[in-house]
Amino acid sequence: MTDKKTIAIFGAGTGLGASLAQRFGRENYRVALVARRAAPLEERVAELAHDGIEAAAFPADLTNLDGIPGLVRSIEERFGSIDVAIYQPVGHVGFVPAAELDASKLQSMAGIFAFSPIEVSHAALPGMLARGDGAIIIVGGLTAVVPMPGLSGVGPMMAAARNYIFTLNAEVASKGVFAGTVNIGAVIDHSAGLRAMTSGGVMLDPRYPVLDPNDIAEEVWSLVTERDWVEAIVPPLPGA
């Protein structure tokens, strides 16, 4: 058996997902890449192999909740363990003003932003607890922390996942497992969300910075390795 650790990136896009693969790969982690489309995943596997990073593609639709336990098992069977599980949804979902939000609109967002990250965590947790080590990180947005007029819908679902991760960490930290969250109040460069916005003719709000995904990956690395705090907000809130 190898002494290498494995990171599983659920939502392995071209922005943060790619940066996470590189950041952890430099630390001798093997990388499991999960996203819907097989061809782009295989391209990223080849790119990582060129850099000397062992990786494998696991095409899957993360909104298929019934398929998540089997997906996690297949990664564990391939690599022996999942030492770090990072859930970060890929793509751009429009916000909804709270006054226009109804159950139907909220339900359409619940799977990818609340149910799926909790199901991924639940499936990865037994192996981590059995080893007495591991980390689970859920990546969300700033509206999970700071309510913003006109930007509802996604926020309440991410807030549910945020509440879950804080509670989970309180329960499992003494058993060697860390649970944390990174909430981002910016646009991520090179991401699918940014491409979707710009290709649709949307002008970027100058109040929101465009962040280098490598900087966010470094925040995630710090959370996983230092475990001194449960949540990172990037960029930091004023006065924080």
Q: Can you give the pLDDT at residue 153?
A: 87
Closest by CA to 132, choosing from 177, 170, 173, is 177
The domains of the chain, with CATH numbers, are 6-234 (3.40.50.720)
Per-residue pLDDT, 70: 98
Averaged pLDDT, groups of 10, the chain, 240 residues long: 86 91 97 96 96 97 96 97 93 78 92 95 98 97 87 90 98 98 75 47 59 91 96 82
- Name the one residue in this structure whose structure tokens are 């649970």: 179
Which pLDDT score is estimated for 208?
A: 65
Amino acid 2: pLDDT? 57
Residue 211 confidence (pLDDT): 79
> What tokens appear for 157 in the block?
């679902």
Q: How far apart are CA 228 and CA 15, in angstroms?
A: 26
Burial 64-95 (b: 16+ CB within 10 A, else e): eeeebeebbebbbeebebbbbbbbbbbebbeb
Categorise residue 28: left if φ over 0, alpha if ψ from -120 to 50, beta otherwise: left
Under DSSP, the state recorded for 209 is P
Q: What confidence score (pLDDT) does residue 37 get? A: 93
Residue in the block written with tokens 């969250």: 181
Tokens of 45: 């596997």
**What's this model's pTM, rounded to 2 decimal places?**
0.90
pLDDT at 196: 46
